[in-house]
Amino acid sequence: MLNNDLAILFILLYSGEYKLRIIVDADACPKSVLKHTVEIGAKYGIPIITVASFNHNIISSQHITVESGSQEADLKIINITGCGDIIVTQDWGLAAIVLSKKASALSPAGIEYEAERMTFMLEEREMKAKFRRNGGRTKGPKKRAAEDDIRFLRTLEKIVLREIERKDT
């Protein structure tokens, strides 16, 4: 049985009234990023859909809760992503897949993922994982800074304006 959000999405997709959406991989999303995403959505009248496992307490008017399996949120995001959607995720693999669906993707640090760089990024991720499996240590992510929020806002707004222009043509 489809939940209400998916039923609405299905109707919009097949009625020709498809609208730009921002989909947030909310499992590991910083609260400031979610807050700024909601602000941009309100500013431009764009619905925000959050997806996270039931282990996370996400407050969102359009939230999809998934099981706690390792890739459940990613699979749900892949299944509901359409051409022109904007996906917020720090998962490089998810970003690569949604880019192949003609969606845009950006990280919570405000870096827009580019299809041309995804092969390199995924190879780098695999090399680092192999290094760690063999006992090596790699650096973790940097602590989030105010500059990350500023960069995220600028990049998200740039993508939103680009997609609005694209939808209008």
pLDDT at residue number 70? 72
Identity at 73, one-letter amino acid code: A
Answer yes or no: is pLDDT of 121 > 80.
no
Name residue, tokens 């009625």: 15
Answer yes or no: is pLDDT of 2 > 50.
no
**Helix-strand-coil percent breakdown of the chain, rounded to 5?**
55, 10, 35
Residues 3-51 have pLDDT tens digits of: 555 555 454 444 445 589 999 998 888 999 999 999 999 999 999 999 9
Neighbour count for residue 158 (Cβ, 10 Å)? 14
Average pLDDT estimate for 132-145: 78
Least confident of 66-80, 101-115, 118-132, 154-168: 118-132
For domain 4-168, the CATH architecture is 3-Layer(aba) Sandwich (3.40)
pLDDT at residue number 143? 84
Distance between CA 63 and CA 49 in Å, rounded? 6
Distance between CA 101 and CA 112 in Å, rounded? 15
Average pLDDT estimate for 47-62: 77
Residues 93-120 have pLDDT tens digits of: 899 999 999 999 999 999 999 877 766 5
pTM: 0.77
